[in-house]
A = this chain, B = another copy of it.
Amino acid sequence: MEAIRVGLLGAGVVGSGVVHVLKRNREEIARRAGREIRVVQVCARNLEKARQLVGDEVQVVADPIAMATSPDVDVLVEVIGGTTVAKDAILAALKAGKAVVTANKALLATAGNEVFAAARAGRVPVMFEAAVAGGIPIIKALREGLAANRMQWVAGIINGTTNFILSEMRAKRLPFDAVLKEAQRLGYAEADPTFDIEGVDAAHKLTLLSALAFGIPVQFDRASVEGISKLQAADIAYAEELGYRIKLLGITRKHAAGIELRVHPTLVPAKRLIASVEGAMNAVLIKGDAVGATLYYGPGAGSEPTASAVIADLVDVTRLFTADPEHRVPALAFQHDALAATPILPMSEVETAAYMRLRVADQAGVLADITRILADSNISIDAVLQKEAADGSSETDLIILTHRTKEGAVNAAIARMEMLRSVKGKVVRIRMEELA
């Protein structure tokens, strides 16, 4: 089966993520897509940087239009950003009948109608999962997963920089300027942070979400946009006192008379899941008439999270739009002839941390006996909680949290503990996972 040949425009943060993930997960991706996905040409402002990224096997090209229209390229991946070179190359590729995958929210929010028309004229897809909320497959959710619904509203934390700043302002009770400087130092904010902090980037993304949710053309120029640069620490504190968090939300809502399209700092009840989204993470909440509210959470930017979305689009192009119905989306995600024979582990081989509760005699030496058994089994203890015996009782609860250990060893240790005279009845064991 021939590989899908990618022309990569841009060798920066996202471009290098695409190259690295395609290389690292080459086999895994081919098992899913039914074909290999291979970068065959790369074009970047800095040719030397491009060469260093892709090595000698990939052609480095100086002219983006030449790459976009090359007969050796099946799909153009545009991750160079901006609205000039990127636009020209995308339109050239579409005109030449090549599928396009782009992460360019600024371009699509402002010139999307033109780009989508060119894609229709060329009878090829233009895919942009990476343009909104980075690695979270939110465009696929809106466009496909929730296709049964009349959408009511979408509300999202869709800019990581501002969510990081707001999280820090609240946690450390610091003013905006101080946190912005810290964010710049850590790489969460750019040297010129205007697009992020004034809500423009969020409005680009919201424009796309609104079009997807409600079936309207992109209309960035109609969005109402207010950023966080004027937000004061006092208001974050008062909001908290009243049971709210302040988040920069993009909100789009449909009424009979029209559609709301707005980005602004927003008080949200602290008990909502989306209020607990901290740091540079993104989350999008969608309300549909049939499904109700669903929420999608994850990293909204960064090299490999964004590459994850770009490559998902490449897999989609491979599966859905190539003349190759044999390789449509397979039932179990992987092509049937590429399923693995990896065995399921017996539970005794599974490692977890554990919570144990023992009912023990309230007497000296009990804890020593029990911790000796754990030590003999090489089970290390994370925490111990010994409760006082209730009035008149000679027994009490002893709770032990262990570090990760193979289940088999824990089972053996529990069996030994239950044989101690000071341990009453069965030991309660509940597994623990950090999920970090």
Interface residues of A (CB under 8 A from B): 17, 21-22, 24-25, 28-29, 31-33, 112, 116, 119-120, 123, 125-126, 128-129, 134-137, 140-150, 155, 211-219, 222-224, 231-232, 234-235, 238-239, 241-242, 244, 246, 249, 251, 254-255, 257-262, 264-269, 272-274, 276-277, 285, 288-299, 304-305, 307-312, 314-316, 319-321, 325, 328-334, 336, 338-345, 347, 349-350, 353, 355, 357, 383, 385, 397, 399, 401, 428, 430-435
Contacts and interface: CB of A to CB of B under 8 A. Distances in A.
Contacts of A21: 148-149, 290
A178 to B, nearest CB: 19
Contacts of A211: 332-333
* Closest CB pairs A-B (n = 6): A137-B145, A148-B311, A294-B298, A215-B334, A135-B291, A222-B344
Nearest to A269: B434
Contact of A329 (B25, B143, B251, B309): B143
A265 B223 CA distance: 46
Contacts of A428: 232, 235
A206 to B, nearest CB: 11
Contacts of A338: 215
A243 to B, nearest CB: 9
Contacts of A293: 298-299, 435
16 contacts: A25-B290, A31-B215, A125-B328, A135-B294, A142-B333, A146-B308, A148-B311, A211-B332, A214-B342, A235-B430, A259-B343, A262-B347, A268-B435, A291-B298, A296-B297, A316-B329
B291 A304 contact: yes
Given A222-B344, A291-B309, 13 more contacts: A24-B150, A28-B149, A29-B147, A137-B140, A147-B311, A148-B315, A215-B333, A224-B350, A241-B385, A259-B345, A266-B431, A273-B276, A273-B297
B144 A312 contact: yes
B385 A238 contact: yes
A331 B285 contact: no
A289 B305 CA distance: 9
Q: Give this chain's copy count.
A: 2
Given A219-B344, A343-B258, A344-B259, A147 B312 contact: yes
Given A298-B294, A307-B290, A344-B223, A333 B262 contact: no
Contacts of A353: 267
A317 to B, nearest CB: 11
A135 B147 CA distance: 11
B435 A269 contact: yes
A40 B209 CA distance: 34
B347 A224 contact: yes
Contacts of A336: 116, 120
A155 B433 contact: yes
A348 B292 CA distance: 28
A140 B149 contact: no
A242 B147 contact: no
Contacts of A297: 273, 294-297
